[in-house]
Structure 1
């Protein structure tokens, strides 16, 4: 199968390239390498990898790939609320318009697997948010994701994954993600200043975030046209719970509650992942495993390229 991955040099994209090539697929990897990341070199000898440096907003630069692919995985994105608030017009161009334009090129037989975010649930109340729960996106980033999901699902041969907050090691690291950020602070300074620790989130290892695409391709007739929450069910927890888990890995960690500060990210929800689990998908990486992995990685420090801002 020919798989077109935009944002292929990103945090999850690099994991996807690994998995798709290992599964025998032909991968068309597109990225603008805006963060100067040096990744994917371990696949350069593989004739099934095609690599192109291009702007996803320039449809002409990859329209030939769009026309020949069997599946489009549009990962190219300004990811996260801060960077989208800082660059709202660019965020709309990349996160929304580039995908809408791509859909116009595709035939009805080509598959689209859209990476949504469960941050679209905003503040979910006490009950578990499932795929039928109302969407109340709080940030520009989440609002664009919700808008784009509607466009994608308007075509028959598509599906949407509403991803939990990712964590874990990848070739192109991100330190702005909550688990990664907290773990870095624990390793670097030994202290986490916690704002509104009762806010609840769901988490997912980046490898499992990539594996679910392969699962969907292998079960397309069963899953097409639908929405799936994708998260680690054992990692529905408060921010304070997360800090306690990190403390098991970094025992000297000091957790300081700051009652006067407010979390700029107001998301607060618990998520049901039952629907994706009923298709036979299960996560391989637990939160403790991911934290242990991050501890090893962070011993090496970090570079200025490991930024998403």
Structure 2
């Protein structure tokens, strides 16, 4: 199954002139306008970059890397925020089965590593804990309750959110009703822990931005929002699965991000392949970051490399460099 706020050390870079619309000065007003421009740059929102752990899933799953090296690798590559993926700990001896004791091990070890490297814990991305949009009420309730331990863990780690999937029914009206119910149950529990529940466009109806927005509006809770992902807009695949075959129907990604951003509590800059100039070949990053900034978003932007052409470390750094480039930042 495919998955789903970084800069060198603790540096948080200013918002780009090209993205945020600061204009050049006319010669006759140079002295006055230079002062204004400096002030605008000084007071502009800050762009912060985090690393999604899925970016190193092959290192962990195929090369045997200890998932608890996540913080050290993120620090090495210049990130300041961490987005954990629960499924990457499923086979760890000390966390296998996610018992109460295992969850405490995950929390204590992750907290120690993030503190050691001076990084901020942001999100736990939850997979494989049941379908929050299941048509069957009891199945849906069980899935909701399976998520509770991760909400608790996120709170203990100091995260602001858990990311969930809306998988289950493949009948549109039924999916909407079930999604509203599942999200409402989980968000009501999460608000007691001061945790947000955020939904990623992650296949099926959740990748149809208008349908996902409708669900968020119906839930109507301040701690329930979205995690817009630049690349996850496949609504339908050949074999009817969420991830395992060719996409035959895709929602417009730029329209989708624009529709999801008003409810965003995080953003995922998904990348796959790059051209010789370092641009992502599937997504216009400058256009996407303009949409993000126009929405007034000031949180972390998460780097999530998922390509096959570059190695994971190389792909992560290529994505980082592209984000810095399109926002006018330097390394």
Q: TM-score, normalised by structure 1?
A: 0.37
> Which structure has the larger Rg?
2
Task: From the two aligned structures, give the one with the greater helix fraction.
Answer: 2
Task: From the two aligned structures, give the one with the greater strand fraction.
Answer: 1
Q: TM-score, normalised by structure 2?
A: 0.36
